[in-house]
Amino acid sequence: MTANPFEFDVETSSPHETFELGAALGGALAGGMTVALIGPLGAGKTQLVKGIAFGNAVGDVRAVTSPTFTLLNEYPGRLTLYHLDAYRLPGSRALLGLGFDELARPDSAVVIEWADRVPDIIPTDAVVIEISPTGPHQRSLRFRSTEAVSGQWLEAFRAARPV
């Protein structure tokens, strides 16, 4: 097996397109999944999470904001969605103190912004999405997995997407 069983890129040309991509992701999320988001300030991580929440049937996506100070937001929906932000963290201990390890359950999923700041606690089966600004309204989103199970999930997700 290769180190990266699956990887693909999606380009978006507006915040709305990123929201729609997130909504597709949120509709497909399986219980127990962790989605690790990487990308610079203003890349569109929270915009993607708004879409994920919408797709997961979270009632009011206006409540979806970067949990920069609260560290952890919880949105009830089809799955309980936990939204974390590691931007201001000196390390992973604060997240472990919040019970990070127990957040991903059969009836929940976890999305974490700035996942590259806490690499030691990101599960190896996480779906990683790296967002790179490529223009004022353009973003390139690289989806990747490092394990077979999440790789299969990603492959199915891409196959189900309209081109």
Ligand X SMILES: Nc1ncnc2c1ncn2[C@@H]1O[C@H](COP(=O)(O)OP(=O)(O)OP(=O)(O)O)[C@@H](O)[C@H]1O
Write out the residues near Mg ion by the rule CB under 5 A.
45-46, 66, 113
* The 80-85 sheet, strands edge to edge: 6-12, 139-145, 127-133, 34-38, 108-113, 80-85, 72-75
Give the x/- contact pattern for ligand X in 3-22, rule: CB under 6 A.
---------xxxx-xx----
Which residues, in sequence order, are CB contacts of 15 under 8 Å at separation 6+?
Answer: 44, 47, 137
Please give the residue whose beta carbon sits closest to ligand X in the complex. Answer: 44
Residue selected from 34, 47, 56, 150 as contacting ligand X according to rule CB under 6 A: 47
SS (H, E, C) 1-37: CCCCCEEEEEEECCHHHHHHHHHHHHHHCCCCCEEEE
Give the x/- contact pattern for ligand X in 65-104, rule: CB under 6 A.
-x--------------------x-----------------
111 binds ligand X (CB under 6 A): no
To ligand X, the closest distance from the beta carbon of 98 in angstroms equals 18
142 binds ligand X (CB under 6 A): no
Exposed/middle/buried for 142, CB within 10 Å: 0-12, 13-18, 19+?
A: middle
Judged by beta carbon, residue 50 or residue 144, the one nearer Mg ion is 50
141 binds ligand X (CB under 6 A): no
Residue numbers at the binding site for ligand X (CB under 6 A): 12-15, 17-18, 39, 41-47, 66, 87, 113, 137-139
